């Protein structure tokens, strides 16, 4: 199995970039970078539950999109490109009332203009909670008027 990443980065570096973002607010924590996958977890608590007391589907989608988007960004030259989500879908399969949920993002397609990621979210017992797919557009940073520098804190190639 070959590595897909364009950057050498640690989970500590990824977790250091959470400050001031939804990842920090929801306490999404990256745990592992494999040769072709990225893992993170998120608590099921007052921030991530719906009024009925189970994991909110929107919170599960935030976890899926966050892990998939970061994984996609690690596959491109951040001096020349950046990734943005253009479609995310999720099938919520099982309720979770407490503890943590664990997400694993794996690539389906890593192209020059688009990427597609499969994100599986599991509960603490290894049961599938959400199956999600994320499509990212890979945009040219040079032609983007709004942003011509790599994201602050991202490792340089």
Q: Which residues, at least 6 apart from 14, have a Cβ–Cβ distance to it below 8 Å? A: 30, 33, 70
**Dist CA 157 CA 154 (whole Å):** 9
Which residues have a catalytic role annotated?
Answer: 65
Give me the phi and psi of 4, to 5 degrees please. Answer: -110, -10
The token duo for 134 is 């994320």
The CA R_g of the chain, rounded to the nearest whole Å, is 15
**Dist CA 122 CA 119 (whole Å):** 10
CB atoms within 10 A of CB 1: 7
Residue 97 CA neighbour count, 13 Å, CB half: 2
């Amino acid at each position: 199995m070959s590595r897909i990443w364009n950057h050498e980065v640690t989970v500590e570096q990824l977790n250091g970039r959470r400050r001031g973002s939804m990842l920090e607010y929801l306490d999404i924590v990256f745990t592992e970078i494999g040769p072709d996958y990225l893992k993170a977890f998120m608590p099921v608590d007052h921030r991530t539950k719906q009024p009925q007391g189970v994991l909110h589907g929107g919170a599960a989608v935030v976890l899926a999109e966050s892990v998939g988007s970061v994984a996609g960004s690690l596959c491109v030259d951040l001096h020349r490109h950046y990734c943005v989500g253009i479609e995310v879908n999720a099938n919520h399969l099982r309720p979770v009332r407490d503890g943590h949920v664990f997400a694993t993002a794996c690539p389906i397609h890593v192209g020059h203009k688009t990427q597609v990621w499969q994100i599986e979210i599991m509960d603490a017992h290894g049961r599938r909670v959400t199956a999600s797919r994320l499509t990212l557009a890979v945009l040219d940073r040079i032609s983007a008027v709004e942003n011509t520098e790599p994201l602050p804190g991202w490792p340089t190639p």
